[in-house]
Amino acid sequence: MSSIDWMPDLAAALDELVPPEDRSRADWLDVVGRVRPRRRLELGQRRGLRLAIVVAVLLLLLAGVATATYLLVRGPVGRVLPLVPHAFPVLDARGHIREIPRACPRAQFCGDVSGAALSPDGKTLAVSTIEFGARSTFPGLHFTDLKSGVDWRIPNVRWREVAPLRTIEYVFRDDERRLGCAAPIYLSWSPTGSSLAYTCRGQQIKNRGIWTIRPDGTGLHLTPTHAVRAFAPSWSPDGKRFAFASGEIGGHSSVYVIDRDGRHERRLGAGAFPDWSPDGKTILYTATGCGDAGLSSWRIRLVTPDGRGVTPTRTRCAGVGPRGSEIASWSPDGSRIAVETTNRFYVMNANGAGLERLRQKSYTSGIGLLFGGLIRPLWQPQPKGIRR
Protein backbone atom coordinates (compact mmCIF):
# COMPACT_ATOMS: atom_id res chain seq x y z
CA MET A 1 0.00 0.00 0.00
CA SER A 2 1.37 3.36 -0.98
CA SER A 3 1.53 6.20 1.48
CA ILE A 4 -1.14 8.19 -0.31
CA ASP A 5 -3.68 5.46 0.07
CA TRP A 6 -4.19 6.10 3.76
CA MET A 7 -3.89 9.92 3.74
CA PRO A 8 -7.67 10.51 3.30
CA ASP A 9 -8.17 8.30 6.29
CA LEU A 10 -5.73 10.43 8.28
CA ALA A 11 -7.61 13.60 7.42
CA ALA A 12 -10.85 11.93 8.41
CA ALA A 13 -9.33 10.71 11.64
CA LEU A 14 -8.13 14.21 12.43
CA ASP A 15 -11.57 15.60 11.76
CA GLU A 16 -13.02 12.94 13.99
CA LEU A 17 -10.67 13.81 16.80
CA VAL A 18 -11.22 17.56 16.59
CA PRO A 19 -14.33 18.62 14.73
CA PRO A 20 -13.99 21.57 12.37
CA GLU A 21 -14.50 24.98 13.92
CA ASP A 22 -16.47 27.81 12.46
CA ARG A 23 -15.43 31.43 12.69
CA SER A 24 -18.35 32.54 14.78
CA ARG A 25 -16.34 32.43 17.99
CA ALA A 26 -13.58 34.65 16.64
CA ASP A 27 -13.48 37.87 18.63
CA TRP A 28 -10.50 40.10 17.90
CA LEU A 29 -11.71 42.87 20.18
CA ASP A 30 -11.62 40.39 23.05
CA VAL A 31 -7.98 39.68 22.27
CA VAL A 32 -7.14 43.40 22.21
CA GLY A 33 -9.10 43.89 25.41
CA ARG A 34 -6.95 41.28 27.12
CA VAL A 35 -3.84 43.17 26.14
CA ARG A 36 -4.77 46.65 27.35
CA PRO A 37 -5.30 45.94 31.04
CA ARG A 38 -1.94 44.21 31.15
CA ARG A 39 -0.34 47.18 29.40
CA ARG A 40 -1.81 49.53 31.95
CA LEU A 41 -0.50 47.24 34.68
CA GLU A 42 2.95 47.28 33.14
CA LEU A 43 2.81 51.05 33.03
CA GLY A 44 1.91 51.02 36.70
CA GLN A 45 4.76 48.67 37.38
CA ARG A 46 7.14 50.99 35.60
CA ARG A 47 5.90 53.87 37.70
CA GLY A 48 6.36 51.78 40.81
CA LEU A 49 9.86 50.93 39.73
CA ARG A 50 10.63 54.59 39.14
CA LEU A 51 9.23 55.45 42.56
CA ALA A 52 11.32 52.71 44.16
CA ILE A 53 14.46 54.03 42.45
CA VAL A 54 13.73 57.57 43.64
CA VAL A 55 13.13 56.33 47.18
CA ALA A 56 16.34 54.29 47.08
CA VAL A 57 18.34 57.30 45.88
CA LEU A 58 16.82 59.45 48.61
CA LEU A 59 17.65 56.81 51.21
CA LEU A 60 21.21 56.63 49.93
CA LEU A 61 21.51 60.41 50.12
CA LEU A 62 20.07 60.35 53.62
CA ALA A 63 22.52 57.64 54.62
CA GLY A 64 25.36 59.68 53.16
CA VAL A 65 24.32 62.79 55.04
CA ALA A 66 23.90 60.78 58.24
CA THR A 67 27.33 59.20 57.81
CA ALA A 68 28.94 62.56 57.12
CA THR A 69 27.23 64.05 60.15
CA TYR A 70 28.30 61.13 62.29
CA LEU A 71 31.91 61.43 61.16
CA LEU A 72 31.81 65.17 61.69
CA VAL A 73 30.48 64.81 65.20
CA ARG A 74 32.66 61.88 66.13
CA GLY A 75 35.75 63.50 64.72
CA PRO A 76 37.52 60.87 62.62
CA VAL A 77 41.24 60.59 62.29
CA GLY A 78 42.38 63.49 60.22
CA ARG A 79 40.05 66.11 61.49
CA VAL A 80 41.95 69.00 63.01
CA LEU A 81 40.37 70.06 66.25
CA PRO A 82 41.46 73.40 67.61
CA LEU A 83 41.68 73.67 71.35
CA VAL A 84 38.46 75.38 72.19
CA PRO A 85 37.96 76.54 75.73
CA HIS A 86 34.46 75.22 76.09
CA ALA A 87 35.08 71.76 74.73
CA PHE A 88 37.54 69.00 75.31
CA PRO A 89 38.84 66.63 72.72
CA VAL A 90 38.78 62.99 73.80
CA LEU A 91 40.42 60.01 72.16
CA ASP A 92 38.07 57.13 71.67
CA ALA A 93 39.06 53.46 71.69
CA ARG A 94 40.22 53.62 68.09
CA GLY A 95 42.36 56.67 68.65
CA HIS A 96 39.82 59.00 67.08
CA ILE A 97 39.17 62.31 68.70
CA ARG A 98 35.80 63.69 69.49
CA GLU A 99 34.71 66.68 71.38
CA ILE A 100 33.16 66.70 74.80
CA PRO A 101 31.50 69.96 75.64
CA ARG A 102 32.19 71.50 78.96
CA ALA A 103 29.83 73.94 80.53
CA CYS A 104 31.29 77.35 81.04
CA PRO A 105 29.69 80.51 82.29
CA ARG A 106 31.63 82.43 79.70
CA ALA A 107 33.79 80.66 77.18
CA GLN A 108 36.68 83.06 77.52
CA PHE A 109 36.96 82.29 81.22
CA CYS A 110 37.37 78.59 80.77
CA GLY A 111 40.68 78.69 79.02
CA ASP A 112 43.11 78.29 81.86
CA VAL A 113 42.76 74.56 82.13
CA SER A 114 45.44 72.91 84.20
CA GLY A 115 44.15 69.38 84.18
CA ALA A 116 41.44 67.15 82.82
CA ALA A 117 40.43 63.55 83.30
CA LEU A 118 37.52 61.42 82.14
CA SER A 119 36.00 59.11 84.71
CA PRO A 120 36.47 55.37 84.08
CA ASP A 121 32.85 55.01 83.06
CA GLY A 122 33.19 57.94 80.67
CA LYS A 123 30.26 59.75 82.24
CA THR A 124 31.98 62.54 84.14
CA LEU A 125 34.61 64.95 82.97
CA ALA A 126 36.73 66.56 85.66
CA VAL A 127 38.64 69.70 84.82
CA SER A 128 40.89 71.78 86.99
CA THR A 129 41.31 75.45 86.37
CA ILE A 130 43.83 77.78 87.84
CA GLU A 131 43.68 81.39 88.72
CA PHE A 132 45.78 83.19 86.19
CA GLY A 133 46.24 86.94 86.13
CA ALA A 134 43.14 88.80 87.12
CA ARG A 135 40.64 86.96 89.22
CA SER A 136 38.54 86.06 86.23
CA THR A 137 39.05 82.33 86.14
CA PHE A 138 37.49 80.04 88.63
CA PRO A 139 40.25 78.19 90.50
CA GLY A 140 39.22 74.72 91.55
CA LEU A 141 37.65 71.56 90.24
CA HIS A 142 34.92 71.59 87.69
CA PHE A 143 32.83 68.45 87.07
CA THR A 144 30.47 67.89 84.18
CA ASP A 145 28.00 65.04 83.86
CA LEU A 146 28.37 64.44 80.15
CA LYS A 147 24.97 62.85 79.76
CA SER A 148 22.83 65.38 81.54
CA GLY A 149 25.11 68.39 81.11
CA VAL A 150 24.82 69.15 84.81
CA ASP A 151 28.02 70.64 86.15
CA TRP A 152 29.25 71.54 89.59
CA ARG A 153 32.36 72.97 91.16
CA ILE A 154 34.55 72.47 94.19
CA PRO A 155 34.62 74.81 95.96
CA ASN A 156 31.12 75.94 95.28
CA VAL A 157 30.99 79.42 93.78
CA ARG A 158 28.70 81.79 92.04
CA TRP A 159 29.80 84.45 89.64
CA ARG A 160 28.61 87.84 88.66
CA GLU A 161 29.39 90.08 85.77
CA VAL A 162 31.04 93.36 86.69
CA ALA A 163 29.88 96.21 84.50
CA PRO A 164 31.02 98.02 82.48
CA LEU A 165 33.92 95.72 81.69
CA ARG A 166 31.62 92.75 81.89
CA THR A 167 34.24 90.66 83.50
CA ILE A 168 33.27 87.94 85.91
CA GLU A 169 33.89 88.00 89.59
CA TYR A 170 33.64 84.74 91.45
CA VAL A 171 32.09 84.75 94.86
CA PHE A 172 32.97 81.70 96.89
CA ARG A 173 30.03 80.24 98.73
CA ASP A 174 32.06 77.83 100.80
CA ASP A 175 35.62 77.49 102.03
CA GLU A 176 37.89 77.91 99.08
CA ARG A 177 40.54 75.95 100.96
CA ARG A 178 38.49 72.79 100.96
CA LEU A 179 40.62 71.41 98.14
CA GLY A 180 43.73 71.79 100.23
CA CYS A 181 45.06 74.42 97.89
CA ALA A 182 43.88 77.10 95.52
CA ALA A 183 45.14 75.61 92.28
CA PRO A 184 44.69 71.86 91.69
CA ILE A 185 46.51 70.48 88.69
CA TYR A 186 47.04 67.05 87.11
CA LEU A 187 43.92 65.03 87.72
CA SER A 188 43.61 61.25 87.92
CA TRP A 189 40.43 59.28 88.60
CA SER A 190 40.57 56.30 90.90
CA PRO A 191 39.93 52.97 89.09
CA THR A 192 36.40 52.84 90.49
CA GLY A 193 35.67 56.47 89.71
CA SER A 194 34.86 57.20 93.34
CA SER A 195 37.71 59.63 93.94
CA LEU A 196 39.85 62.09 92.09
CA ALA A 197 43.56 62.54 92.76
CA TYR A 198 45.39 65.78 92.06
CA THR A 199 48.34 67.77 93.13
CA CYS A 200 48.59 71.42 94.00
CA ARG A 201 50.40 74.09 92.10
CA GLY A 202 52.78 76.07 94.21
CA GLN A 203 52.94 73.51 96.99
CA GLN A 204 53.84 74.53 100.46
CA ILE A 205 55.20 72.19 103.11
CA LYS A 206 51.73 71.75 104.51
CA ASN A 207 50.13 70.61 101.28
CA ARG A 208 52.99 68.70 99.74
CA GLY A 209 51.76 65.41 98.41
CA ILE A 210 48.88 63.87 96.52
CA TRP A 211 45.37 64.94 97.36
CA THR A 212 42.24 62.89 96.79
CA ILE A 213 38.63 63.98 97.01
CA ARG A 214 35.27 62.54 96.07
CA PRO A 215 33.35 64.28 93.29
CA ASP A 216 30.78 65.47 95.82
CA GLY A 217 33.49 67.38 97.67
CA THR A 218 33.80 65.06 100.63
CA GLY A 219 36.59 62.74 101.71
CA LEU A 220 39.51 65.12 101.24
CA HIS A 221 42.69 63.16 101.91
CA LEU A 222 46.40 63.90 101.59
CA THR A 223 49.02 61.30 100.79
CA PRO A 224 52.20 62.97 101.96
CA THR A 225 55.36 62.52 99.91
CA HIS A 226 58.93 62.98 100.86
CA ALA A 227 59.67 64.13 97.36
CA VAL A 228 59.11 67.84 96.96
CA ARG A 229 56.72 69.33 94.47
CA ALA A 230 54.82 66.18 93.61
CA PHE A 231 52.79 66.37 90.43
CA ALA A 232 51.05 64.19 87.86
CA PRO A 233 49.71 61.39 90.07
CA SER A 234 48.35 58.21 88.54
CA TRP A 235 46.37 55.57 90.43
CA SER A 236 47.41 51.96 90.38
CA PRO A 237 44.58 49.72 89.11
CA ASP A 238 44.06 48.29 92.59
CA GLY A 239 43.65 51.80 94.00
CA LYS A 240 46.30 51.22 96.66
CA ARG A 241 49.25 53.09 95.20
CA PHE A 242 50.17 56.09 93.14
CA ALA A 243 52.81 56.72 90.54
CA PHE A 244 53.76 60.37 90.45
CA ALA A 245 56.50 62.73 89.44
CA SER A 246 58.36 65.15 91.60
CA GLY A 247 60.68 68.00 90.84
CA GLU A 248 60.65 70.74 88.28
CA ILE A 249 57.85 70.44 85.79
CA GLY A 250 59.42 70.39 82.35
CA GLY A 251 62.87 70.23 83.87
CA HIS A 252 64.67 67.90 86.21
CA SER A 253 62.18 65.57 87.77
CA SER A 254 61.87 61.95 88.81
CA VAL A 255 59.13 59.37 88.80
CA TYR A 256 58.11 57.62 92.01
CA VAL A 257 55.60 55.11 93.28
CA ILE A 258 54.12 55.36 96.74
CA ASP A 259 51.43 53.61 98.76
CA ARG A 260 48.29 55.58 99.33
CA ASP A 261 49.08 55.82 103.00
CA GLY A 262 52.42 57.48 102.20
CA ARG A 263 54.65 54.50 102.82
CA HIS A 264 57.07 52.67 100.52
CA GLU A 265 57.99 55.63 98.38
CA ARG A 266 60.34 54.49 95.65
CA ARG A 267 62.06 56.30 92.79
CA LEU A 268 61.80 54.67 89.35
CA GLY A 269 63.90 56.99 87.22
CA ALA A 270 64.36 60.44 85.77
CA GLY A 271 61.23 61.60 84.08
CA ALA A 272 57.72 62.91 84.50
CA PHE A 273 54.05 62.29 83.80
CA PRO A 274 53.73 58.60 84.74
CA ASP A 275 50.64 56.61 83.84
CA TRP A 276 49.89 53.21 85.34
CA SER A 277 48.74 50.55 82.87
CA PRO A 278 45.27 49.05 83.38
CA ASP A 279 46.74 45.63 84.16
CA GLY A 280 49.01 47.15 86.79
CA LYS A 281 52.17 45.58 85.38
CA THR A 282 53.69 48.55 83.59
CA ILE A 283 54.16 52.22 84.21
CA LEU A 284 54.92 54.53 81.34
CA TYR A 285 56.49 57.92 81.84
CA THR A 286 58.20 60.60 79.86
CA ALA A 287 61.95 60.20 80.09
CA THR A 288 63.08 63.79 80.48
CA GLY A 289 66.49 63.34 81.97
CA CYS A 290 68.53 63.69 78.85
CA GLY A 291 70.73 66.58 79.78
CA ASP A 292 70.91 69.45 77.37
CA ALA A 293 69.20 67.63 74.56
CA GLY A 294 65.95 69.29 75.57
CA LEU A 295 62.40 68.44 74.83
CA SER A 296 63.12 67.08 71.37
CA SER A 297 64.92 64.10 72.90
CA TRP A 298 62.11 63.12 75.23
CA ARG A 299 60.77 59.62 74.70
CA ILE A 300 58.36 57.32 76.47
CA ARG A 301 59.84 54.72 78.78
CA LEU A 302 58.08 51.62 80.07
CA VAL A 303 59.02 50.17 83.44
CA THR A 304 57.58 47.75 85.94
CA PRO A 305 56.32 49.17 89.26
CA ASP A 306 59.58 48.03 90.87
CA GLY A 307 61.62 50.06 88.38
CA ARG A 308 62.86 47.45 85.93
CA GLY A 309 62.84 48.38 82.28
CA VAL A 310 60.20 46.75 80.16
CA THR A 311 61.52 48.01 76.84
CA PRO A 312 65.22 47.44 76.22
CA THR A 313 67.08 50.72 76.47
CA ARG A 314 70.66 50.98 75.27
CA THR A 315 71.14 54.53 76.46
CA ARG A 316 69.69 56.65 79.18
CA CYS A 317 67.55 58.59 76.74
CA ALA A 318 66.32 55.63 74.72
CA GLY A 319 62.64 54.82 74.74
CA VAL A 320 59.63 54.31 72.56
CA GLY A 321 57.29 56.72 70.85
CA PRO A 322 58.13 59.80 68.82
CA ARG A 323 60.90 62.17 69.72
CA GLY A 324 59.60 65.11 71.64
CA SER A 325 57.06 63.02 73.51
CA GLU A 326 55.60 65.15 76.26
CA ILE A 327 52.89 63.12 77.90
CA ALA A 328 51.24 59.79 77.25
CA SER A 329 48.39 57.63 78.47
CA TRP A 330 47.21 54.05 78.24
CA SER A 331 44.07 53.12 76.39
CA PRO A 332 41.37 51.71 78.72
CA ASP A 333 42.14 48.13 77.66
CA GLY A 334 45.88 48.65 77.93
CA SER A 335 46.54 47.66 74.33
CA ARG A 336 47.61 51.06 73.05
CA ILE A 337 49.33 54.21 74.15
CA ALA A 338 48.46 57.72 73.06
CA VAL A 339 51.31 60.21 73.03
CA GLU A 340 51.15 63.95 72.74
CA THR A 341 54.07 65.92 71.41
CA THR A 342 54.28 69.67 71.09
CA ASN A 343 51.71 69.81 68.36
CA ARG A 344 50.76 66.27 67.43
CA PHE A 345 49.06 63.17 68.71
CA TYR A 346 50.40 59.71 68.11
CA VAL A 347 49.01 56.28 68.92
CA MET A 348 51.14 53.18 69.26
CA ASN A 349 50.88 49.64 70.53
CA ALA A 350 51.62 48.84 74.16
CA ASN A 351 55.15 47.73 73.25
CA GLY A 352 55.89 50.93 71.36
CA ALA A 353 55.52 49.39 67.91
CA GLY A 354 53.07 50.47 65.25
CA LEU A 355 53.47 54.19 65.80
CA GLU A 356 50.69 56.02 64.01
CA ARG A 357 50.57 59.76 63.71
CA LEU A 358 47.17 61.36 64.00
CA ARG A 359 46.57 64.49 62.05
CA GLN A 360 44.89 66.60 64.66
CA LYS A 361 46.78 69.09 66.72
CA SER A 362 47.51 68.53 70.36
CA TYR A 363 45.44 69.90 73.18
CA THR A 364 47.92 72.41 74.38
CA SER A 365 50.12 73.25 71.41
CA GLY A 366 53.08 73.58 73.72
CA ILE A 367 51.61 76.09 76.12
CA GLY A 368 50.85 73.40 78.65
CA LEU A 369 54.34 73.45 80.03
CA LEU A 370 54.21 77.18 80.57
CA PHE A 371 51.16 76.87 82.76
CA GLY A 372 52.18 73.59 84.29
CA GLY A 373 49.11 71.92 82.92
CA LEU A 374 49.92 69.15 80.47
CA ILE A 375 46.91 66.91 80.09
CA ARG A 376 47.20 63.20 79.55
CA PRO A 377 45.55 62.21 76.26
CA LEU A 378 41.97 61.40 77.14
CA TRP A 379 40.66 58.06 75.96
CA GLN A 380 36.99 57.44 75.56
CA PRO A 381 36.23 54.37 77.75
CA GLN A 382 35.29 51.32 75.74
CA PRO A 383 31.72 50.12 75.88
CA LYS A 384 31.37 46.82 77.69
CA GLY A 385 31.80 43.79 75.50
CA ILE A 386 34.03 45.50 72.95
CA ARG A 387 37.58 44.30 72.80
CA ARG A 388 40.18 45.35 70.32
Partner 1 sequence: MDHPDVWSQIESLYRAHFPQFVRVARAITGDRESALEAVQEGFADALRNATQWAGRGPLEGWVWRCVVNRARKARRRPVVELSGGEPSSNGGPGDSELGTRLAALPERQRLVVFLRYFADLEYREIGAALGIETGTVSATLHAAHTNLRTAFEEAHA
Spatial distance between the Cα atoms of 77 and 55, rounded to a whole number of angstroms = 32
Of 12 and 367, which CB lies nearer to partner 1 in the complex structure?
12
Minimum CB separation from partner 1 for residue 26, in Å?
4
Give the binding range for partner 1 (CB under 8 A) out of 16-24, 105-113, 198-206, 292-300: 16-24
Residue 264 in the binding site for partner 1 (CB under 8 A): no
Of 29 and 205, which CB lies nearer to partner 1 in the complex structure?
29
Of 35 and 165, which CB lies nearer to partner 1 in the complex structure?
35
Of 9 and 175, which CB lies nearer to partner 1 in the complex structure?
9
For residue 124, give the 3-state DSSP assignment. Answer: strand
> Which residue in 22, 175, 216, 292 binds partner 1 (CB under 8 A)?
22
Residue 43 in the binding site for partner 1 (CB under 8 A): no
C-alpha neighbours within 13 Å on the C-beta side of residue 372: 25
Residue 34 in the binding site for partner 1 (CB under 8 A): yes
Minimum CB separation from partner 1 for residue 7, in Å?
9
Of 12 and 71, which CB lies nearer to partner 1 in the complex structure?
12
Spatial distance between the Cα atoms of 307 and 200, rounded to a whole number of angstroms = 26
For residue 336, give the 3-state DSSP assignment. Answer: strand
Residue 4 in the binding site for partner 1 (CB under 8 A): no
Reference 343, options 365, 375, 321, 368; nearest CA is: 365
Name, in order, each residue with C-beta under 8 angstroms of 365's C-beta and a sequence gap of 6 or more.
83, 342, 343
Site size toward partner 1 (CB under 8 A) is 27
Reference 372, options 215, 274, 251; nearest CA is: 251
Name, in order, each residue with C-beta under 8 angstroms of 73's C-beta and a sequence gap of 6 or more.
98
Q: Which residues bind partner 1 (CB under 8 A)?
A: 1, 3, 6, 9-14, 16-18, 20-23, 25-28, 30-32, 34-35, 38-39
